[in-house]
Structure 1
Amino acid sequence: MFYDVAMNFVIGTILMVVGAIMICIPNRVFTWILVVSILFLFANGVTLFIRFIKNKKNKDFFFSILSFAFMFFLMNFRYIPQWILRVNFGGYCILCGSACFIQLVIDKINHFKGKFFNFVFTIIYILFGFYLLLNPNFHTDLLMQAFGIYFMILGLRYLGDGYVGINPLTKYKWKRKVRITLPAFLCALVPDAALASINRYLEEGKPEDLNTYKMEDPVRLKVIVHVGPKGFQKVGHICFSYDNIVYSYGNYDSDSFRLNQTIGDGIFFTVPLEKYIPNMISAENNSIFEYGILTTPKQNEFIEKEIEKIRLNGYRWYTKIEKEDGYDHFSKYEMDYPSRLHYRTGAKLYKVKSGKFHIYWALGDNCASFTDLVLGTLGADVLSIRGIISPGTYLDWLQKEYLKKNSPIVSRCIYTKETVEQ
């Protein structure tokens, strides 16, 4: 725990220094990045060529030549790395803007009043993205300085988190506000990175306990992030439990899948926590990060009102195994996640009737936004300036809040197949 708090100071300081350098001498920073890239490509090419000589694998030879070729281009055509930086960042802005635009369209279909703030940022993202793509004369120094400002703001957040983590006099109170986070594509990688870190820890056989508690009293609210070993499972999924009942939202109706399963009918399910976690670990091969949150009686009232709204806005949706009474032929339905979830845990699924979560959108109204319905009543500050909240965004926030003195996040439990079977 002390190590994690210390890392906030280290990362924050590095970000502040790097950001200041990028603002003051952006051209030199770009040159340094270019030199480091050339050296990396040279070392990578040599390594792959040596591997080819030893193992005689054609792919090693191919990628070695490719690495040397790209190094040559970077050395002789300076405009290429500038073009790559400009086009990639422009494409990223357009992607974020498009995700926000799709969410605005979904809000319109659902007759849900979206925020004007989101509309403004949608326009800014898309216009700036196309400006970068279509303007070859855009000065790279300006982009480097913009990155520098972002790094300094992010560095201040890390330093602030570190200070709160060591100050025992901190009067802790969540306040609903926009939070400066890592870029969306990096947030998406947080759950898988966290799982990789746990796996390394287990392989090293360190004695430290993965499950830590600031207090022994039971809590009523828990947030659960789980991550799997492949595909979309690496991005993670987030849900919450209240009074040991799990509430999870997602895109579970295969008949409604659109846009490579990123859009579909919004569905939530309820299931006892004691059945859900063992099933996710043993049957679904997921690892679980569970955070317990201490709540006051007043906060419990807010949570219960929100859960009641969720329940009233849902109608029972039956899985394929239920509709066809196929309990005696489970193997026929095993590939359908809702069916095997219901079969193994007794989970009940509900489609959202109307409003914000009537349509699921992976980059908008997703499982993280659904969980935010409840945590938002407590003042959790995970609102994103991009309008996109991922499980990784929440996992990063939960871990940082858990490390802070006097935080209401009072426990962290990590379950993997290895630890459960020990």
Structure 2
Amino acid sequence: MNTTSALSSRQRLKLTLPCLLYLICGLGCLLVPARFADAFILTAGMVSLLSSVPFFVHAFQWHRRLDLVAALLTAALGLLCVFMRCQGAFLIGVLYSMYLLAIGLVFLIQAVLDRFSGSRLWIGLGYLLAGGLLLVFRHDDPRFVMEIIGAYLLLQAWQNLEELFCFSNPYDAKYWSTRHWMALPAFFIGIFPSFVIGRIQDEGMKHRAVDFDGRKNDSEVNLRIWIHTGTYGPRLYGHMTFSRNNVMYSYGDYDVPAEKLFGTIGPGIFFTVNAEIYANNCCIVEHSPLFEYGLHLTDAQLQAFDRMSGEIFSQTVPWVCPMEAAHEAGRPVSLQTCGKMYANRLWFRTGCRFRMYTRGPWKWYALLGNNCSNFAAAKLNEIGLHLPVSHGVVSPGEFYEVMETLFDDPDSCVITRSYHTVDIPASLFDVPD
């Protein structure tokens, strides 16, 4: 895929400003940590308190226990940072070290699933070492936290500089897709301060979806990438799928009884379904709005797609969800008794066809490793799209940012975008009931 050879001044500014911001703040945190520390901890506390408000509202309005837990956690973090700065700094340091340890564990688990892949093993050990050292040598001085944040911001500045370079040189598209991009802390981004920003964006989208929809040129759309989103529970992390010829391709952990490690690992299940019926079901029933991006593939890429999809079917065997199995056996079954499991709801409402991987790297699904986002990106990279794949705890939101940037690029193959939500009936598809 041609990743920008003619960025406009506005697009260059959009990529350059975050890099400069990270660089200036990172240097400030490292060189004069005392001046930044108090303001940062106080700001983090205020944002956390603000983030807890909508959680409290929805916890009591819709009787959601998960929202109540999130509200109490964000409020506690906010109060701690506002009134007990040193303890807040201590907590932030501990959380960051735990995040590094979690990322290291993710890589080690993925290395085992990939039959002790050397690259993942060494990176995982590196993350574990960094997290362990930080956890052992932490102390209550807020300046120490600022130095940690400063180092992180400088790494982000370097990464943004690389992104700017890659998006400016189409011959380096493959380099862009093979770099070791750092994943952001998906849980904290999805649950804590950005919750407020996400709600504001969601509300705004209801009123400007028509402005969001767009087309760059008249080229044929022969591949669509879908970024699922939501505002509650697992939907906060979203989902990523792709479709061609109105057939949706999706990968995930749908065999709930076979899940391990608290549902973070399970058999790799793949399904195909009518894309428009599936999209409507996501919006109307599952309350998950969709961002859709239309791509134009070359003839060579279309042939590669056919080979890639054929390999998926050669590595998988048919799998039936419990509700379908009961139906085939002639046993009485209803959605009321089986609807808690997503695979049952999906089969009942869309008629999707499931398949289970029996070999290859996707035999085991890992929420923090081989998840839906990495699957979609890896499969699309097989046909030459060269999408970036971050390492660590990856969420579909990262690919939303990538697709937005590529849509802004006049030379990329991402030529359309649209937004689908039950709040805007005109954005739904006209399919038979």
Q: Is the 8 A contact 1:211 1:414 kept in 2?
A: yes
- In structure 2, what is the equivalent of residue 196 of structure 1? 199
- In structure 2, what is the equivalent of residue 128 of structure 1? 130
Task: After TM superposition, give the deviation of residue 317 of structure 1 in Å.
Answer: 0.6
Partner Cα distance (2:425, 2:37) in 1: 48
Task: After TM superposition, give the deviation of residue 376 of structure 1 in Å.
Answer: 1.6
The 1:103/1:180 distance shift into structure 2, 3 A limit, reads closer
Q: Let me know the Cα RMSD of the aligned residues.
A: 3.7
2:173 aligned with 1:174: yes
Q: Is the 8 A contact 2:38 2:142 kept in 1?
A: no
Local SS of the residue matching 1:18: helix
Task: After TM superposition, give the deviation of residue 242 of structure 1 in Å.
Answer: 2.1
Q: Is the 8 A contact 1:153 1:180 kept in 2?
A: no
- In structure 1, what is the equivalent of residue 431 of structure 2? none
Local SS of the residue matching 1:84: helix
- In structure 2, what is the equivalent of residue 342 of structure 1? 347
Q: Is the 8 A contact 1:132 1:138 kept in 2?
A: no
The 1:314/1:141 distance shift into structure 2, 3 A limit, reads same
CA-to-aligned-CA distance 1:331-386 (integer Å, 9 cap, x gap): 333333222212222210001111211111100111112102222222424232x3
- In structure 1, what is the equivalent of residue 292 of structure 2? 290
The 1:303/1:65 distance shift into structure 2, 3 A limit, reads closer
Q: Is the 8 A contact 1:187 1:392 kept in 2?
A: no
Task: After TM superposition, give the deviation of residue 415 of structure 1 in Å.
Answer: 0.4
Matched letter for residue 412 of structure 1 = R
Matched letter for residue 120 of structure 2 = N
Task: After TM superposition, give the deviation of residue 391 of structure 1 in Å.
Answer: 1.3
Q: Is the 8 A contact 1:292 1:411 kept in 2?
A: yes
Matched letter for residue 225 of structure 2 = V
- Structure number with larger C-alpha Rg: 1
2:386 aligned with 1:380: yes
Task: After TM superposition, give the deviation of residue 20 of structure 1 in Å.
Answer: 2.6
Task: After TM superposition, give the deviation of residue 418 of structure 1 in Å.
Answer: 1.2
Q: Is the 8 A contact 1:321 1:327 kept in 2?
A: no
Task: After TM superposition, give the deviation of residue 123 of structure 1 in Å.
Answer: 0.8
Matched letter for residue 338 of structure 1 = A
- In structure 2, what is the equivalent of residue 277 of structure 1? 279
Task: After TM superposition, give the deviation of residue 180 of structure 1 in Å.
Answer: 3.5
CA-to-aligned-CA distance 1:271-295 (integer Å, 9 cap, x gap): 1212211111112221001111221
Local SS of the residue matching 2:294: strand
Alignment coverage as a number of residue pairs: 390
Matched letter for residue 249 of structure 1 = Y
- In structure 2, what is the equivalent of residue 54 of structure 1? none
1:5-16 to structure 2, matched below 5 A, reads 7-16=14-23
Task: After TM superposition, give the deviation of residue 235 of structure 1 in Å.
Answer: 0.6
Task: After TM superposition, give the deviation of residue 28 of structure 1 in Å.
Answer: 3.2
State TM-score, norm by structure 1: 0.79
Task: After TM superposition, give the deviation of residue 6 of structure 1 in Å.
Answer: 5.3
Q: Is the 8 A contact 2:214 2:418 kept in 1?
A: yes
Task: After TM superposition, give the deviation of residue 217 of structure 1 in Å.
Answer: 3.2
Q: Is the 8 A contact 1:319 1:339 kept in 2?
A: yes
Q: Is the 8 A contact 2:113 2:364 kept in 1?
A: yes
2:396 aligned with 1:368: no
The answer for unaligned runs of 5 or more in structure 2 is 1-7, 54-70, 428-433
Local SS of the residue matching 1:228: coil
State TM-score, norm by structure 2: 0.77
- In structure 2, what is the equivalent of residue 107 of structure 1? 114
Partner Cα distance (1:154, 1:141) in 2: 20
CA-to-aligned-CA distance 1:87-120 (integer Å, 9 cap, x gap): 2222111111112222223233xxxxx5322111
Task: After TM superposition, give the deviation of residue 393 of structure 1 in Å.
Answer: 2.0
Partner Cα distance (1:363, 1:348) in 2: 25
- In structure 2, what is the equivalent of residue 86 of structure 1? 93
1:247-262 to structure 2, matched below 5 A, reads 247-262=249-264
Match of 2:322 among 303, 320, 325: 320
Matched letter for residue 336 of structure 1 = M
Q: Is the 8 A contact 1:195 1:227 kept in 2?
A: no
- In structure 2, what is the equivalent of residue 305 of structure 1? 307
1:39-58 to structure 2, matched below 5 A, reads 40=46
Match of 2:118 among 116, 119, 124: 116
Matched letter for residue 201 of structure 1 = G
Local SS of the residue matching 1:410: strand
- In structure 1, what is the equivalent of residue 418 of structure 2? 413
